[in-house]
Structure formats: structure tokens, C-alpha cells
Chains A and B, each alone.
Chain A
Amino acid sequence: MRYLPLSDNDRADMLARIGVSSIDELFADIPQAVRLEELTNLPRRKTEMQVERQLTAMANKNVSAGSLPFFVGAGAYKHHVPATVDHLIQRSEFLTSYTPYQPEITQGTLQALFEFQTQVANLTGMEVANASMYDGSTGTAEAVLMAHRITRKKKAVLSGGLHPQYREVVEGVSAKLPGAFVHSLLADPMGTEDILAQIDDDTSCVVVQSPSFYGQLIDLRPIAEKAHAHKALLIAVFTEVVSLGLLESPGAQGADIVVGEGQSLGNPLTFGGPYVGLFATRQKYVRNMPGRICGETVDAEGKRGFVLTLSTREQHIRRDKATSNICTNSGLCSLAFSIHMTLLGGKGLQRLARINHMNATALADTLGKVEGVEVLNSAFFNEFTIRTPKKADDVIESLAAKGVLGGVPVSRLDKSGGDIDNLIVVASTEVNTDEDRAAYAQALKEVLA
């Protein structure tokens, strides 16, 4: 087997050196009744060429985003990632290193994490960031638990603009905690819900996504004010990190915890994972933060170096008193994010964001002219919601048959029915062209005719 260096001679010699007569003696602790002689029902080894052929055949059955006009977002976005990023993250020293437990020989990973944390903190307008979460959805659930620890209250209020699957993750995690309560508002495509009325003295945190799942931009300031007046925290969520290039940061609007999905920078769509959760907060809450944190220090010769720090919050030290059970996070995805962010810089990110917004407004104008189609959002970034006269899931399937992936029918994620059944969340990034938009409008016209 090509991955195994030992030869049969090696094995025999080594067993002799170990002092056993057969390999079975090394497995003697496994009760005889359950010990296997071989694995039946399963295929045997394959050559590299055979594996490549078989998996490529599976891949070829899928329609890839780059092969047609593509407008699907709703929490994951197709962006152009510079070739440099993927080359660098495949350096052996990054790809095949473990969590940096031995800082003397993992300064590469650690310095990159320190830079990542700085980028995330500056981008979100917060004071500190951690070294990543699994993704935006699990990060949001961790943010709610963190707010419960800080406020010693257990009621979370979730905006109806929060990604429905993020909401489900939060509800699932909270439901298992004694006394925890999640108050989820109804779907809110246009950002008109009265979330302020839901905040009271029992509220631990308010979770608001902007741009919302439906694309609507939300003013966080009044929500932060009301939350703070009731000693509750504002958790600001985003799924499109590029939006921060053009929008006022959540930190500047008074958020206490900012959590979001970082996939858009450096990371391919990959059918939903692995992604990278961004997580930032105020300095005063840092010891309640989940996840790994990298900090600056000096070595025995006084040279600057970096280490994982504040680990007394973590499971390997605090066990059942830890702030989170997270161990492995999204190291390599955070590196990809950081490299892409380094190439862009603040100025590049702003320009990229502007191109995204420009393309989205152009798409909204184009689709808005199709008879029967209404664009719902008053203010949006690179994603918005349209209402069509036909059921959205049928429209999307018909568009796909015409070679356009036109967005996400809200009803795929939210089954509350009614008006929702006719809504489509549509995203447009820098990858879309005038031809893509024209093809979408034409196909939509035909589907709705």
C-alpha cells in the first residue's frame, strides 16, 4: 500500500523485536468474540488513478458555480480567490502542522493567527478577536452562550432577519441548557420588525444579522441602546464579510459581540464547509470568549514571539468549567482568509465591496424590470430578496433547467408559508457580468410568462 512504509519483512522483524509471535498478540485485549479477521462487504485498495477516476466521476455530476450565471448566496458566496492563496495554504508547513502547542517551532502558524485576529478586530470595529470558530452558524450559538455567561441571564431574542439555519443551531444548543430560552421573531424580509419591543430586563442578548438573511441593511444603533438599557448584549451577525468594506462596522454601532462567516475571503464554496467563523468582542469580555486566542509575548532571549494564551478558559485546562468545548477550529481556513485580506488590504476590500454593491444594484434594476417581479429591500449590499408571482422553488428549478442558478427560495429554509413561498434571495458578487444579468432576466421572463 503506497502510504505504508513498512514491508512485510519489516513487520516480521519488528514483531520479533517486540517479542510477540504474531500481530494478534498485540490486539489481545480486544475480546475474541468481537475481533475481526478481515473486513468483508468492503472493497479492497485502489490505485491513485482508480480513486481519481471514481471521485472525478462524482464531481462531474455536479453543476459548478463557475460554469453558468450564478446568483446563489444566503450565507455562502462565490468570490474570486487569488491563486496565491491556495498555493500558500498548501505549503506543507501550514497544511500538515498541528494546533501550535509548541510555540518554539510553530511561530509561523502563531504569527499568522495574531495577524488574523488583528484583521478581524479592525474589520469589525472591535477590540479583540479569537483565532476562529468552525463557521458563522456555530459561532453565533457560542456567542449566545457567552452572553448568557456574562449577563447571567438566559433569554436570547433572535431577529427574524437571522439566517434560518443559524437560528436552528442557536435553538438546538440553547434548548439543552436548563432555563435557557430563545425568542425567535418571524421572518422579516424588509427589516420592519419591532425588535425593540421584545427586549426586556430578562433579555441576555439580542441577535441581529446585517445585512440580513434577506439582504436588508439594519441600523444596529437603536438596538444596541435598548439592549444596553436592559443590561443585555447586542450580538451582531453577518454572513458576507465583504460587506464590511462598505458598511459602517458593527463595533462602531455598539455591538458587544460580532460574529460572522468569513468564507467569502480566501475560501471556496465547497458545498458549505469547511468555512471559518469570525468572532470578536470587547476587551472586558475576553475571558468569557470561546475558542483559541493567540497573544504576543517574548522568548528567553527577549525576541518577540506568539503563543496560544488565556487557555484557562479552555476545555483542556478547565474541563467541565470551560467557556466552550471547542478544540480543533478552522486554522487553515483562517489562514486563507488572512492571506486574501493581506492581498486586498483595507483599500482593496473597499473597492471589492463597491464592485459587489454595484453589480447587485445593476441586477436589482434588471430583475425589477421583469414583469411581476418586485425587489423588496430598501437598502442592501450584494444580496436582496425578490417576490415573484409564482412559487419560488418552482421558479428556481425552472431557471436551473435554463442554465441559470438564480438564488435561494426562502421556502427551502423557512416553512412558515404564505408570502414566503414566493420569495427568492438573490446574490451578486464581482464574478457576475452584464451577460450573466441579461441571461438571468431573460430566463426569468420566460419562466414567469
Chain B
Amino acid sequence: MTMNHKGRSTRAGEAGPPMPHQTFTGNKALDMEEPLIFEIGHMDNCGVDLDEPMDFVPRLGSHMRTEPVDLPALSEPETMRHYVRLSRNNYAIDAGLYPLGSCTMKHNPRLNEKLARLPGFADIHPLQPISTVPGAFELISELADWLMELTGTNAVAMSPKAGAHGEQCGMMAIKHAIEAKGEERSIVLVPESAHGTNPATAALVGYKVVAIPAKSDGTVSVDAVIEKIQAHEGQVAALMLTNPNTCGLFEPEVIEIAKAIHEAGGYFYCDGANFNAIVGKAKPGDLGIDAMHINLHKTFSTPHGGGGPGSGPVVLSDRLAPYAPLPFIRKNGEELEIVETKDQLKEGELPFGRMTAFFGQMGMYVRALSYIQSHGSDGLMQASEDAVINANYVRVGLQDLMSLPYGERPCMHEVLFDDTFLKDTGVSTLDFAKAMIDEGYHPMTMYFPLVVSGAMLIEPTESESRASLDLFIATLRDLVMSAKAGEKDRFEGAPFMSPRRRLDETTAARKPVLKWVAPEPTRVEPELA
């Protein structure tokens, strides 16, 4: 019998006899099956009480709908039960360690939720008179000040709606700046280890992507950058580099790289997805960046919400600041002027356009500022240090059993393993990660970055206690020993105990079923006499 260090049984079935029978409902006590709303809803019911409209003469012209809206309703108690049951099939940071590398799944303080719901923030309209919302601009301006100070920059475009949208904003500013100089450049350099959004963004903005290979130690060398710059002389518009990078390492030559790209007339776009490692430890502006987005939903803890909403303000160097998109806040001493349209521009303000309607993700700004104020300068720095300590603690707890592609060196806020340690076990990275689910953990980021074989990228964040990390390390050690001992049953086809087993993704993609369609009534053949 295998026990973890807390003495808890770690093997299925050892807690007692297996389930004696299939249940009638398909439920397993608290683990309940829940149909779709279309299967349990009512076409003639409603979960909202609305007054009966009075008689009036419609003014819809010829545009009136003649068909009913084909959507069922649930009453309020049914709605509550439906979504509560669904929610219980989700893993969440509030329920357990969520070590998704590069995703920064940290604690989401509820103070932030409370403040974002104050009527003075949640119940204000983006186009009500500016004179009626001074507090909104004060908040945006204070958050902007923090972001500029923490990054060592003098400008920030607040409106981008998520990280990738921030990338797009930064790259559009770069393209605009290059055009303003009367130049044409067609190439953006992106390391192989980059997030997929980097090359996708470069292409979206109309650039050709040239990949830079990583060095054998997982970082990018200035020589490799210079080589590509020389191979495409005069054509390189920008370099997009994540720092700390997706291997969990700070790029040691980043200052030289910035210098090289600047000397070639290009710009340095920094992907700030991993900013959580260095807040208060270094300012990206001091490293020579021209633009960097900050994922408020990572570094500053606005919740991920099962896939957003995010928020991706972009800090800009002085060279790019004039091209920041509309709208922006112009500061005259203590006075805030809101610039929404081109006719309000002053000399030297050359916005490339607009990223979105209105002012961006106000609800996320409130949460982020609440988080930042709570931490303060000292707490933010401590959070980064703790994130790095935790990642390294996991590293040393596992490095003798799992394999580090770049040797036993310190990492930043996330630690990257490859699948060398699984060689000849018949267990893949996927199997290994899926077996973690049965142990009550969300898997780490898998098969990313692409530069190492079978990558496993673990980011514990600063939110984990030492006890939590000890149990996590012990669990992974037990899994590794199990794999090495040839206990393939624990891995093949895992997870076994989750609300669903492995899902058939191939069929999902080949024969896509993307919405619910009422089943055809079954035809009953008349019985022959």
C-alpha cells in the first residue's frame, strides 16, 4: 500500500470495496449528471417575472419577428440547480493547486470582486457625460501610474482587452512608428519557444515571421538575433520576446538583444505573460523594451473566469508613446483630460487608431488596482520572490526523479521538465499529467514550450503554502516511482475518477457538433400481425 507523507492512501480502491453497482440515475452521490437546458427547459415558462406590456402601437416597420425565439427557459430554482451542478464538474484555484505554466493561476481575492461591483464602478456607462464619472478616470489613471512605475515606462495604452489584444496593440504601434519614419519593414523575429499568440499577432498585423532558435540552455543569444537581423538587413521591424521566457528562465542577454534590435532600426516587443516573476525585481523599461503587455488576469489576479475576461494594457517606450491608440487620458498636473477623438489631439500625439469601443476593461482595472494597493510596493516584490521560491522548491523536490532539460540551475516563477525521465516506461507526458487528475490536481502545462520533448511546465505561484507544495511534490514523486516501476495501469487511460474520462477529441473535430439540435422523433414501425 502506498502512502504519501501525510499517510493518506494514494491508490484507488484501497479506501474500501469498489462501487457495488451502477446507480439508476447515473449519479455517484455528489457527482451528478446534468442534462442540457434544452433537454430540461420549458418553452412556455420563464424564470423572470416581467410585467405584461400594455397595448401600444409598435414602430418596428416591417421588421417584426414572426417566429417564436427557439429557446427554452428554466425557473429560478431549476436554473440555480443546473448551474451549481455544472460548476461542481470544474477544477478551480479555490479548490486546489492549479500549476498551469505561463497562466499564473494565483489566488483571486474577493475584496476585488466586491469593489468591482460598487455601483460607482459597475453601474456607470462609458458614454455618460465625462463630468459625471471623474472617479472612473481617477481609478484608470492611478492604475496606469502603477503600471508605468512598475515597468519603468512613461506611457501605457490601457484599452486592450486581453494579452493577445495587447500584443496586437503594441505591434500596431510599432508598425505605425515605422511608417511614420517613411520606412517599410516586413519581418518580425520570434523565438521558437514563444507563445502561439506572438506569431499569430505578427501575422495579423501583416508581418512575416522568422523564427529564432533557442540556445541549448533554453535562452536566446544575442548572436542568434544579430544573425537574423543581418540575414534580413533593413527588413526587421521588431523582435517579440517573452521575458522571463517560456522555459521559466530570465533571458540573461536581454539588454544586449534590445540594443541589437534598436541598432538595426527595429523595436523590442516584450511578451509580459511572465511578469509575475520580476515585479519589483527589475523594470522592463530598464531592459530596453519598447512595448510590453501586462496580463492583469495573470500578474494582478483578476480572475480567469473559465477563459476570460482578461485585460492587457500595454506599456510603451518614449519612442512608441506618441502612437498610443485612442482613447487616452492626458494629464495636466492634477487635471485629467479625456481624449476620445482625433480632433482633440495636440501636436506630437499620433494615435494609430482604436483597439475597442469605449475605454477597455474597467471591471478588471478595479480588481487589479485593489490587488495592487493591497500588496503595495513591498507586497508585490514579496509576491514575486515567493513565486520564484515556490517554483524552485518544486524544482529541487523533483529534480532527482524528473528531468530538467537545462540542468540543475535556478528557474524563475515556473519550472520546466521534459519527458526524458519517462523514457522506456511506456508512460507519456499526457498520461502522466492525466494521472495527476485522479490525485486531485490540475495538470501542468503540457507539450509547451515546443522546444523540449514532452514539456511539463509547472507554475505553482506565490499562493501555495509550503504544506501544499510538499504534498504536491510527494504526489508527483509517487507518480514517477509508479511509472518507473512499470505500473502502467495507473496512467494508461487516466483519469479514472474524474466526472468524465478522456474525451474523444478526434471525432469532435472530424464531425463537429457545435450546438444542440432536437433529436428526430423515433419512428415506431407498426407491428406486423
Q: Report how far A247 CA is from B287 CA in the complex, Å.
A: 55
Q: Which residues from 335 to 363 on chain B have a C-beta closer than 8 Å to any C-beta of chain A? A: 340-343, 352-363
Q: Are A324 and B204 in contact (CB under 8 A)?
A: yes
Instruction: Flag whether B472 is at the interface (Cβ < 8 A).
Output: no
Known contacts A326-B162, A342-B37; decide if A72 and B309 are in contact (CB<8 Å).
Answer: no
For residue A115, which residues in chain B have a CB less than 8 angstroms away from its CB? 36-38, 516
For residue B61, which residues in chain A have a CB less than 8 angstroms away from its CB? 217, 378-379
Q: What are 8 pairs between A and B in contact, CB < 8 Å?
A: A23-B385, A94-B83, A94-B90, A94-B305, A271-B136, A319-B200, A328-B164, A346-B72
Q: Top 3 A-B pairs ranked by shortest CB distance?
A: A345-B73, A59-B120, A272-B358
Q: Are A412 and B340 in contact (CB under 8 A)?
A: yes
Q: Report how far A135 CA is from B111 CA in the complex, Å.
A: 26
Q: Are A55 and B370 in contact (CB under 8 A)?
A: yes
Q: Which residues from 71 to 95 on chain B have a C-beta closer than 8 Å to any C-beta of chain A? A: 71-74, 76, 79-80, 82-84, 86-95
Binds A, one of B10-18, B275-283, B477-485: B275-283
For residue A111, which residues in chain B have a CB less than 8 angstroms away from its CB? 34, 36, 86, 89
Q: Are A415 and B342 in contact (CB under 8 A)?
A: yes
Contact with A along B356-396 (1 / 0, CB 8 A): 11111111101001100111111111110110111011011
Binds B, one of A228-236, A355-363, A437-445: A355-363
Known contacts A5-B463, A26-B410, A217-B61; decide if A171 and B309 are in contact (CB<8 Å).
Answer: no
Known contacts A106-B90, A135-B357, A351-B50; decide if A118 and B161 are in contact (CB<8 Å).
Answer: no
Q: Which residues from 149 to 180 on chain B have a C-beta closer than 8 Å to any C-beta of chain A? A: 149-150, 161-165, 167-168, 172, 175
Q: Report how far A171 CA is from B41 CA in the complex, Å.
A: 42
Q: Report how far A91 CA is from B366 CA in the complex, Å.
A: 20
Instruction: Flag whether A153 is at the interface (Cβ < 8 A).
Output: no
CB proximity of B129 to chain A, nearest CB, Å: 5
Contact with A along B21-46 (1 / 0, CB 8 A): 00000000000001011100111111
Instruction: Flag whether B239 is at the interface (Cβ < 8 A).
Output: no
Q: Which residues from 306 to 340 on chain A have a C-beta closer than 8 Å to any C-beta of chain B? A: 306-307, 309-312, 314-322, 324-333, 335, 339
Known contacts A96-B94, A378-B61; decide if A105 and B499 are in contact (CB<8 Å).
Answer: yes
Q: Are A65 and B69 in contact (CB under 8 A)?
A: no
Q: Are A327 and B163 in contact (CB under 8 A)?
A: yes
Instruction: Flag whether B19 is at the interface (Cβ < 8 A).
Output: no
Partner of A247, one of B60, B135, B252, B374: B60
Q: Are A328 and B297 in contact (CB under 8 A)?
A: yes
Q: Are B149 and A42 in contact (CB under 8 A)?
A: yes
For residue A95, which residues in chain B have a CB less than 8 angstroms away from its CB? 92, 94, 108, 113, 303, 305-306
Known contacts A76-B126, A123-B69, A268-B123; decide if A46 and B306 are in contact (CB<8 Å).
Answer: no
Instruction: Flag whether B426 is at the interface (Cβ < 8 A).
Output: no
Q: Are A23 and B389 in contact (CB under 8 A)?
A: yes
Q: Report how far A106 CA is from B508 CA in the complex, Å.
A: 16
For residue B84, which residues in chain A have a CB less than 8 angstroms away from its CB? 88, 91
Q: Are A345 and B280 in contact (CB under 8 A)?
A: no
Instruction: Flag whether B457 is at the interface (Cβ < 8 A).
Output: no
For residue B136, which residues in chain A have a CB less than 8 angstroms away from its CB? 58, 62, 271
Partner of A94, one of B196, B252, B278, B306: B306
Q: Are B161 and A5 in contact (CB under 8 A)?
A: no
Q: Report how far A294 CA is from B37 CA in the complex, Å.
A: 16
Contact with B along A45-85 (1 / 0, CB 8 A): 11010111011111111111111001010111010001010
For residue A346, which residues in chain B have a CB less than 8 angstroms away from its CB? 43, 68-73
Instruction: Flag whether A14 is at the interface (Cβ < 8 A).
Output: yes
Instruction: Flag whether B421 is at the interface (Cβ < 8 A).
Output: no
For residue B357, which residues in chain A have a CB less than 8 angstroms away from its CB? 75, 135-137, 163, 165-166, 169, 272
Instruction: Flag whether A419 is at the interface (Cβ < 8 A).
Output: no
Q: Are A286 and B128 in contact (CB under 8 A)?
A: no
Q: Are A6 and B306 in contact (CB under 8 A)?
A: no
> Given A104-B502, A217-B63, A269-B125, 7 more contacts at CB 8 Å?
A6-B386, A99-B306, A108-B89, A300-B504, A316-B197, A329-B162, A342-B47
Q: Are B495 and A270 in contact (CB under 8 A)?
A: no
Partner of A55, one of B115, B309, B311: B115
Instruction: Flag whether A109 is at the interface (Cβ < 8 A).
Output: yes
Q: Report how far A13 CA is from B380 CA in the complex, Å.
A: 21
For residue A435, which residues in chain B have a CB less than 8 angstroms away from its CB? none
Instruction: Flag whether B189 is at the interface (Cβ < 8 A).
Output: no
Q: Are B196 and A332 in contact (CB under 8 A)?
A: no
CB proximity of B474 to chain A, nearest CB, Å: 14
Q: Are A109 and B307 in contact (CB under 8 A)?
A: yes
Binds A, one of B97-105, B221-229, B313-321, B519-527: B97-105
Q: Report how far A316 CA is from B65 CA in the complex, Å.
A: 41
Q: Report how far A312 CA is from B433 CA in the complex, Å.
A: 22
Q: Are A343 and B79 in contact (CB under 8 A)?
A: yes
Q: Are A129 and B42 in contact (CB under 8 A)?
A: no
Known contacts A72-B128, A270-B122, A415-B341; decide if A106 and B89 are in contact (CB<8 Å).
Answer: yes
Q: Are A36 and B283 in contact (CB under 8 A)?
A: yes
Instruction: Flag whether A238 is at the interface (Cβ < 8 A).
Output: no
Instruction: Flag whether B216 is at the interface (Cβ < 8 A).
Output: no
Identify the interface centre among B93, B105, B512: most chain A CB within 10 Å of its CB.
B512
Q: Are A343 and B503 in contact (CB under 8 A)?
A: no
Q: Report how far A22 CA is from B340 CA in the complex, Å.
A: 49
Closest to A331 in B: B307
Instruction: Flag whether B325 is at the interface (Cβ < 8 A).
Output: yes
For residue A82, which residues in chain B have a CB less than 8 angstroms away from its CB? 47-48, 76
Q: Are A379 and B53 in contact (CB under 8 A)?
A: no
Q: Are B376 and A46 in contact (CB under 8 A)?
A: yes
Instruction: Flag whether A201 is at the interface (Cβ < 8 A).
Output: no
Q: Are A60 and B70 in contact (CB under 8 A)?
A: no
Instruction: Flag whether A367 is at the interface (Cβ < 8 A).
Output: no
For residue A186, which residues in chain B have a CB less than 8 angstroms away from its CB? none
Known contacts A28-B410, A38-B377, A76-B125; decide if A295 and B508 are in contact (CB<8 Å).
Answer: yes
Q: Report how far A294 CA is from B46 CA in the complex, Å.
A: 27
CB proximity of B524 to chain A, nearest CB, Å: 24
Q: Report how far A20 CA is from B42 CA in the complex, Å.
A: 64
Partner of A45, one of B65, B109, B204, B376: B376
Partner of B358, one of A25, A26, A76, A100: A76
Instruction: Flag whether B249 is at the interface (Cβ < 8 A).
Output: yes
Known contacts A3-B107, A63-B133, A115-B38; decide if A105 and B100 are in contact (CB<8 Å).
Answer: no
Closest to A271 in B: B362
CB proximity of A300 to chain B, nearest CB, Å: 4
Q: Are B200 and A175 in contact (CB under 8 A)?
A: no
Q: Are B509 and A312 in contact (CB under 8 A)?
A: yes
Instruction: Flag whether B434 is at the interface (Cβ < 8 A).
Output: yes
For residue A413, which residues in chain B have a CB less than 8 angstroms away from its CB? 127, 340-341
Q: Are B377 and A44 in contact (CB under 8 A)?
A: yes
Q: Are B501 and A270 in contact (CB under 8 A)?
A: no
Q: Are A274 and B363 in contact (CB under 8 A)?
A: yes
Q: Report how far A89 CA is from B124 CA in the complex, Å.
A: 20
Q: Report how far A328 CA is from B361 CA in the complex, Å.
A: 13
Q: Report how far A89 CA is from B307 CA in the complex, Å.
A: 13
Known contacts A309-B512, A347-B73; decide if A29 and B252 are in contact (CB<8 Å).
Answer: yes
Partner of A91, one of B59, B83, B499: B83
Instruction: Flag whether A390 is at the interface (Cβ < 8 A).
Output: no
Q: Are A55 and B366 in contact (CB under 8 A)?
A: yes
Contact with B along A91-117 (1 / 0, CB 8 A): 111111111111111111101101101
Q: Report how far A319 CA is from B41 CA in the complex, Å.
A: 40
Q: Are A93 and B378 in contact (CB under 8 A)?
A: no
For residue A103, which residues in chain B have a CB less than 8 angstroms away from its CB? 500, 503, 505
Q: Are A93 and B95 in contact (CB under 8 A)?
A: yes
Instruction: Flag whether B493 is at the interface (Cβ < 8 A).
Output: yes
Q: Which residues from 272 to 305 on chain B have a C-beta closer than 8 Å to any C-beta of chain A? A: 278, 280-283, 286-287, 295, 297, 303-305
